[in-house]
Amino acid sequence: MYRYAAVVLSLALGIAFQLSHGTEVNVTDKDNNLCLYANLMVNFSVSYDTTDNKSATTEFELPETVTSDGSKCDTTSSLLKINFGEGHSWSVNFTVNGKMYQTDTITFSYNLGDTKFFPKASTNETTNVYVKPHITDVGMDTCYSCKSKEVLEADSVNQTLWNVLIQAFVSNNITSENITSCAADVPTTPVAPTTHATSTAAPITNATSTVPTTTTTPTPPLPTPTTGKYNFKPNENSTVCLMAYFGLRVAYKQAEMNFDPNGTTISGSCGDNTSELVVVSTKMTIMLTFVHDTKKFRLHALNITGKTSAGVTFSEANTNLSLWEAAVGSSYMCNKEQSYNITSQLTIDTFDLQVQPFGVKNGVFSTAEDCQGDARESFLVPIAVGVALLVLILIVLMAYFIGRKRNMATGYESF
């Protein structure tokens, strides 16, 4: 009860204050009504590069003294932004989905220039990591509660969240007493979490059938992969002869992975009628072979070797493809997501794709041939024709009315 009283008393926008434990934040809307409440604990573990070419790992907690500048509430989406220390922030957005709300992405932004947290860091940069938390299907007008620990892993950051109590879209200026608990907090028997008294009664069914089926944790949907820019030149004095920009998601059997362009090495070859690009990341090696016969080029072979996050190694290749076709001297482009079955086990999804394996001039893409799905001309042409017709009609009408007015005016004068 004390907490709710405290909430009502703390209405100033952008001000957060601390309770004895956890980091508490109250966000108010433009009418000064509480619209977002959070009380949570977060531990961060961050690995970073130091000036002496080593990798260091630092651990720190989300402090109790924070600000919530930059947080905002809307009717269907809200943002909680917790700022702390020297330019660090932790933010999470909420969206309404029918009678539920959910979080989309947590963005943790840390300033490597902060020597307190990151002694001897090799750069000053602020780095962002994005993770998807499992906070979904929270009933409107209820608090999300998760006392259990949840570890969210991103590239070089692990975030441990616990004792989380959050309510977005608060109505009537007060947090709800009704709670939506996370799965980890709910006792193994899938009965109502509030009925503790009945949980002591032994289930009547036999043991094998009551084994909790929590072993298969649902994997959250992957974020859109980062677009990588891969330019190949045969040696340092020559010009770029092959360009490929794309975001890539690889699915081997059931395992989906985003290809991370950070820290990749590029090699390849540029030939008269065959060009090859090899991109190597820590987790995967991708070989793309392009050919051109007569006037068109295409992706002819793709070979991906790697390891899934479960540790399964794979090597899948198709050397008989005809993808990404465009005229030699131009580039092939496809911004929308596209899926390709490469082998029976391997599928790739591309995002923001643009490639030019032959005839690159001055290190830039030549005119692009769009994939059909992007073809904006198909509807731009009728729109342009329509607009032109409309303008024509307006001109004719104006001419008519001006002429009429003139005639009438001269009519009155001559009268």
Ligand X SMILES: *[C@@H]1O[C@H](CO)[C@@H](O)[C@H](O)[C@H]1NC(C)=O
Summarize as ranges the residues that interact with ligand X (CB under 6 A).
Answer: 43, 45-47, 52-53, 57, 59, 61, 113, 123-124, 128, 141, 149, 153, 155-158, 160, 162, 176-178, 206, 208-209, 226, 235-237, 260, 262, 272-273, 293, 303, 305, 315, 317, 319-320
Of the pair 72, 231, the CB lying nearest ligand X is at 231
Q: What is the CA radius of gyration of the chain?
A: 29
In eight-state DSSP terms, residue 196 is T
53, two tokens? 């070419």
State the sign of the Cα–Cα–Cα–Cα dihedral 115, 120, 125, 126: negative
CA gap 19, 37 in Å, rounded: 13
Of the pair 43, 102, the CB lying nearest ligand X is at 43
Least gap, CB of 388 to ligand X (angstroms): 43
Of the pair 69, 293, the CB lying nearest ligand X is at 293
Of the pair 171, 199, the CB lying nearest ligand X is at 171
Least gap, CB of 151 to ligand X (angstroms): 7
Least gap, CB of 212 to ligand X (angstroms): 16
Least gap, CB of 334 to ligand X (angstroms): 20
Amino acid at 294: T
Distance set, CA 349 to CA 104, 184, 222, 250, 306 (Å): 21, 32, 12, 7, 16
Amino acid at 187: P
Of the pair 178, 188, the CB lying nearest ligand X is at 178
In this structure, are residues 101 and 166 in contact, taking their beta carbons and an 8 Å threshold?
A: no
Of the pair 45, 67, the CB lying nearest ligand X is at 45
Distance set, CA 337 to CA 248, 258, 352, 372, 373 (Å): 9, 13, 7, 12, 10
368-370 and 331-334: which strand pairing? Answer: parallel
Least gap, CB of 377 to ligand X (angstroms): 29
In Å, the largest CA–CA distance within the chain is 108
Least gap, CB of 220 to ligand X (angstroms): 16
Least gap, CB of 346 to ligand X (angstroms): 12
Which neighbouring-strand residues pair with 67?
83
Q: What's the angle, vertex CA 303, arms to CA 302 and CA 307, rounded to 5?
A: 135
Least gap, CB of 342 to ligand X (angstroms): 11
Of the pair 163, 330, the CB lying nearest ligand X is at 163
Of the pair 70, 113, the CB lying nearest ligand X is at 113
Cβ-based neighbours of 315, under 8 Å, separated by 6 or more: 303, 304, 305
Of the pair 20, 53, the CB lying nearest ligand X is at 53
Candidates 277, 324, 335; CA nearest to 304 is 277
- Neighbouring CB atoms inside 10 A of 236's CB total 5
Least gap, CB of 273 to ligand X (angstroms): 4
Helix, strand, coil content of the chain in percent (nearest 5):
15, 45, 40
